[in-house]
Amino acid sequence: MRLLTLSALVLASVALVSCDSPSKKPVAGRSGSIQSSATRINSVRTTAYTHSEADHVRYGTASAAGDHLKYGRVRSAATDWSVYPVGTVFQIDGDPYVYEVDDYGSALVGTNTIDLYKPDKQEMRNWGVRSVNIRVLRWGSFSKSLAIMRERTRNDHVRKMVQRIERSS
């Protein structure tokens, strides 16, 4: 019953949140239109990361969006923001948690992989690599993604995401 209540709250809150113009389309070809029902995407490759990995340790628990990485009812996820823009909210089939895209990583650009935040290396290893089905409850904002990344284009992976978003506009 509690799981149903959490899902109902998330779906109800999705209807209250706005994002980019419905005409915007993600680079990967998925519809960027705002929908009241969830968009289902099958066979999404997922991996896991933690803040104590060597390539993330200098950022600590800070996400690319500027918040702390989340690991509660809502959990952080890192993606290629030209595919899943910042603020995208999704749920993995069979998983009671909701994930929000608030981070990115150089290894994710061009891969269509979603990297799920885990609080420690053991949980990260336990997740491994999995192919999952997801339901996108709310598409994020390409314009917010661009606003965050524009000052970071000295990094090649950020420059690639920015270029891909600008080309698809």
The DSSP bridge pattern shows strands 39-49 and 114-117 to be parallel
Backbone angles phi, psi at 35, to 5 degrees: -130, 145
C-alpha to C-alpha distance for 113 and 117, rounded to whole angstroms: 13
What is the pTM (predicted TM-score) of this model? 0.77
Residue holding tokens 């000295």? 154
Measured distance CA(31)–CA(50) in Å, rounded: 30
Split the chain (169 residues) into runs of 10 and give each run's mean pLDDT: 38 37 38 58 97 65 92 97 98 97 95 96 97 98 97 95 94
- Determine contact, residues 20/108, Cβ cutoff 8 Å: no
CB 79 within 8 A of CB 111: no
3.30.70, 2.40.160, 2.40.40, 3.40.50: CATH of 2-168: 2.40.40
At 37 the pLDDT is: 65
The Cα-based distances of 101 to 1, 4, 8, 86 in angstroms read 27, 23, 20, 5
Q: In which residue are the tokens 């896991």 written?
A: 48
